[in-house]
Structure 1
C-alpha cells in the first residue's frame, strides 16, 4: 500500500476496487486525440479508474476518506456497465494496518455517488448494515439531501442501498467544517450540487483532495471536466481557485480515482515536480 507523509500525518491508500468507464464521458467535450495523450484507454474506449479510500490516524482517531466500490453490492449487469473488474478489499487492507472496520471513527465523504459510497454498507445475510458501525460520517447537507431524494438524473448514482443503513451516523455541514485539527471539508458543488473537497494542513505542509472536481492528474486543465458533472462551470471555478492556491502553497494533490498517481505536486508551469505513484 502506498503512503504519503505530510508533517506528522501519514496517509495510506487502501484497495477499494476498480471501475473502467467511458473515456469520452470522463473527459466531456475534450476531443479524444487530446485526452488520450494524457491517460490510456482500452479497445472499448474505457479508462481505468481506481476507487481507493485513504486512511490516516489523527488525534487518536481512525479516519477514512471515501469508502470504495464495496463488495457484493452489484449484480452482473452493473459490474458490466461500470467496468468493475475488481471489488473492494478495504477490510483486508485495514487488517494489514491492524485496524478493524469497527475501529473507524470518522469517514469523510466528498460526495455520495455509488463509486464512493457503496463501501458504506455491506450485506449481513440478506440485510444491509453499516460497514463501519462506530464511525461518524461527514458530508455536506446538500449532498445528504440529494442522496435521499435524487432527481431524474441523479437517481442512477444515489442508491438507497448505500444510505438507509447509516442514517443515524451522518453529520452534515453547510459551507465548511473543521472535522479534526487541521482537517477541513469545503463545499464546492460542481461534480454534484453537494460535492466537497478536503484540505489538510499539518506542520506547515498542505494537502488538497479535490475528489471528482479533479479525478485524475489528466484533469488538471481547468476546462477538462467530466460529462458526469452536474454543474460544470462550478467545477471549473473550483479548479481555478484550488489549483492556483495549491500550486502557490506547494501543496500535495491527492487522488481517489487515478490509476497511476496517488499524489502529485505541480509547479507553476503545470509540471509534476514530486509524486507518489501507484504500484501496479
Structure 2
C-alpha cells in the first residue's frame, strides 16, 4: 500500500476495489483524442478507476475518506455494467496495518454515490449491517438528504442498501466542518449537490482531496468535468478555486479513483513536478 507524509500526518491508500467506466462519460464533452492521451481506454472505451479509501492518521486519530465498492454488495449485472474487476478488501487492508474497523475514529464521506458508499454496509445472514458499527460518519446535510430521497436521476447511484443500516451513525454539516485540527471538510457541490472535498494541513504542508470534481490527474484542466456531474459549472468553479489555493500552498492533490497516480503536485504552468505512483 502506498503512503504519503504531510508533515507528521500519514496518508495510506487502502484496497476498495476497481471499476471500469465509459471514458466518454468520465470526460464529458472533451474529445477522446485529447483525453485518451492522458488516460488511455480499453477496447470497450472504458477507463480503469480505483475506488480506494484513503486512511489519514493524524492527532492520534484514524480517519477514513470514503469506503470503496464493498464486497458482495453488487449483483452480477451491476458487476458487469460497472466493469468491476476487483471487489473491496478494505478490512484486510486495515489488518495488514495492524488495525480493525473498530480502530477507525471517523469516516469522512465526500459524497454518497454507490462507488464511494457501498463499503459502509455488508450482508450478514441476509441482513445488511454496518461495516464500522461504532464509527461516526460525516457528510454534508445536502448529500445526506438526497441520499435518502433521490431524484429521478440520482436514484441510480443513491441506494438505500448503503444508508439504512448506518443512518444512526451519520452526522452532517452545512458549509465547512473541522474533523480534527488540520483536517477540514468543505461543501463544494458540483459532482453532486452535496459533494465535499477534504483539505489536510500540517505545518507548512498541504494536501487537497478534490474527490469527484477531480477524480484523476487527467482531470486537472478546469473544463474537463464528468458527464456524471449534476452541476458541471459548479464543478468548474470549485476546481478553479481550489487549484488556485493549491498553487499558492504548493499542495499535493490526492486521488480516490486514479489507477495510475495516488497523488500529484503541479506547478503554476500545470506541469507535474512531483507524484506518488500506484504500485501494481
What TM-score comes out, normalization by structure 2 length? Answer: 0.99
2:36 alignment partner in structure 1? 36
3-state SS of paired residue (1:264)? strand
Q: Distance in 1 between matches of 2:95 and 2:56?
A: 14
**Residue 272 (structure 1) aligns with:** 272
For residue 49 of structure 1, report the CA deviation from its aligned partner. Answer: 0.1
1:233 paired residue number: 233
Question: The residue matched to 1:262 in structure 2 has which SS?
Answer: strand
CA distance in 2, matches of 1:35, 1:6: 30
**Structure 1 CA distance, aligned partners of 2:57 and 2:188?**
25
Equivalent pair of 2:141/2:172 in contact (CA under 8 Å)? yes
How far residue 104 of structure 1 moved from its aligned partner, in angstroms, is 1.1
Contact 1:103 1:134 survives alignment (8 Å): no
**Is the CA contact 1:199–1:209 (under 8 Å) kept in the aligned structure 2?**
yes
For the pair 1:9 / 2:2, whether they are aligned, the reply is no
Structure 2 distance, partners of 1:116, 1:23, is 19
Is this contact kept in 1: 2:10–2:58, CA < 8 A? no
- For the aligned residue pairs, the C-alpha RMSD in angstroms reads 0.6
Distance 2:120 2:204 in 1: 32
CA distance in 1, matches of 2:154, 2:241: 26
- Rounded to whole Å, the distance in 1 between the matches of 2:220 and 2:165 is 36
Query: Using the alignment, how far apart are the partners of 1:199 and 1:61 within structure 2?
Result: 16
Tell me, what secondary structure is at the counterpart of 1:36? Answer: helix
- Check the 8 A contact 2:262/2:278 in 1, yes or no: yes
Deviation at 1:85, TM superposition (A): 0.7
**Cα displacement string for residues 177-233 of structure 1 (whole angstroms, at most 9, x for unaligned residues):** 001111000000000000000001001110100000000000000000000000000
* Alpha-carbon distance in structure 1 between the residues aligned to 2:65 and 2:104: 11
The whole-number CA distance in structure 1 between the counterparts of 2:220 and 2:231 is: 17
State the number of aligned residues: 280
Separation in 2 of the partners of 1:99 and 1:28?
39
Runs of 5+ consecutive residues of structure 2 not aligned to the other structure: none
Match of 1:250 in 2: 250
Unpaired stretches in structure 1, ≥5 consecutive residues: none
Cα drift, residue 60 of structure 1: 2.4
8 Å Cα contact 1:53/1:65 also seen in 2: yes
1:20-99 to 2 correspondences below 5 Å = 20-99=20-99
